[in-house]
Amino acid sequence: MFHCGKFQFDLKRPLVMGIVNVTPDSFSDGGHHASAAAAVSHALQLIEAGADILDIGGESTRPGAASVSEQQELDRVLPVIEALRSCAVPLSIDTYKPAVMRAAIQAGVSMVNDVNALQSDCALQAVLHSDVALCLMHKQGTPLTMQQRPHYENVLDEVASFLLERVALLAAAGVARERIVLDPGFGFGKTLEHNLVLLRDLARLQELGLPLLVGLSRKSMLGALTGREVNERVAASVAAALLAVQRGAAMVRVHDVRETVDALQILNAVNKEQT
Ligand code: PT1
């Protein structure tokens, strides 16, 4: 069982997390979704398309992205959370800032998705006395510089031991395992080869015994493999999501919800026949 605020999932089928960006640089049309109203209407479309959960983010963490102030991030995400709080699916806040976590939990989110794995000062305290789910992600470096010279002796071992360490810390603080999902952090301080190794051997991370979340949607890794620009990576993203689920991912974080749901329905039908 995966506990996500007042929601629960048995994880018998993979979950689709729809991405709701409230950042002006997120879309090629120069900030169309920057306004809260546009983000909300985009979010409602993702629910309609079959999203199981929505991940709301007010600061881009893609390579080279600049950080935004706490206040700016709050101004972006809070109106969106408030407008969506009574929608049919749980809301996740994509943030590494403790103040944003606190405000988002107060406003009704069911999950905190932290690319910094709750390593910021006070991040653990911000989530401890709540019932929200927690996504702990691995990264090397910070978004501004992480793609400059990623280096690992063994990327799988290093990602696994980092995540295990973070889980142990949360367990020691009294966080129930049912609240935790783990994410290898595709594209966060990884070369194409590192990303491919992680995806190829994702099943090894399953041995950590917690659900895995995978975010590959439209990432540069897919651009490197296909030669396609970011908005032309839908097919590659769907293929990557399908491969991730086949290798054990419990949840995929995607832009293209409808297409991903369709693909997973085929996989689910085929897998059902096996049992
Ligand atoms: C992710 C993720 C995330 N990715 C989780 N949260 C982003 N849990 C934001 C590129 O290489 O994978 N897991 N929140 C977006 N980050 C990136 C990173 C976007 C790399 C693009 C790239 O293009």
Cβ contacts of 148-156, under 8 Å, gap ≥ 24: 150/189, 150/190, 150/191, 150/194, 152/194, 155/190, 155/194, 155/197, 155/198, 156/197, 156/198, 156/201, 156/204, 156/205
- Residue with structure tokens 């994509």? 94
Q: Please write the tens of the pLDDT for every residue from 121-153.
A: 999 999 999 999 999 999 998 888 888 889 999
The domain tally of the chain equals 1
By C-alpha distance, which of 85, 82, 89 is closest to 7?
Answer: 89
Cα–Cα distance, 71 to 203 (Å, whole number): 39
For a mutational test of ligand 1's pocket, the pick from 146, 186, 212, i.e. the residue with the most ligand atoms closer than 8 A to its C-beta, is 186
- Percent of the residues in the chain that have a pLDDT greater than 70, as a whole number: 95
Ligand 1 and 61: CB distance under 6 A? yes
User: Is pLDDT above 60 for 181?
Assistant: yes
The alpha carbon of 146 and the centre of ligand 1 are apart by a number of angstroms equal to 12
Ligand 1 and 113: CB distance under 6 A? yes
Cα–Cα distance, 186 to 108 (Å, whole number): 28
Task: Please give the C-alpha separations between residue 72 and each of 24, 55, 63, in angstroms, as whole numbers.
Answer: 12, 18, 20
* Section 199-207 average pLDDT: 96
User: Is pLDDT above 80 for 34?
Assistant: no
The alpha carbon of 245 and the centre of ligand 1 are apart by a number of angstroms equal to 17
pLDDT at 33: 46
Q: How would you class 275 by CB atoms within 10 Å of its CB: exposed for 0-12, middle for 13-18, buried for 19 or more?
A: exposed
pLDDT higher at 274 or 61: 61
Ligand 1 and 143: CB distance under 6 A? no
Domain of residue 72, CATH code? 3.20.20.20
* Section 37-48 average pLDDT: 96
Cα–Cα distance, 159 to 138 (Å, whole number): 6
Ligand 1 and 14: CB distance under 6 A? no
Q: Please write the tens of the pLDDT for every residue from 76-91.
A: 999 999 999 999 999 9
User: Is pLDDT above 70 for 119?
Assistant: yes
Q: Could you list the active site residues?
A: 219, 253
* Section 39-60 average pLDDT: 97
- Residue with structure tokens 């963490």? 61
How far is Cα of residue 125 from the mean position of the Cα atoms in its chain? 21
What's this model's pTM, rounded to 2 decimal places?
A: 0.95
Buried b (16+ CB within 10 A) or exposed e, 36-51: beebbebbbebbebbb
Atom in ligand 1 nearest the alpha carbon of residue 61 = 16
* Section 264-268 average pLDDT: 97
Q: Please write the tens of the pLDDT for every residue from 57-78.
A: 999 998 888 889 999 999 999 9
* Section 41-69 average pLDDT: 94
Ligand 1 and 253: CB distance under 6 A? yes
User: Is pLDDT above 80 for 29?
Assistant: no
Q: Which two tokens stand for residue 57?
A: 């983010």
The SS3 of residue 99 is helix
Question: Average pLDDT of the chain?
Answer: 94
Can you give the residue range of the structural domain that contains 217?
A: 2-274
Q: Please write the tens of the pLDDT for every residue from 226-235.
A: 999 999 999 9
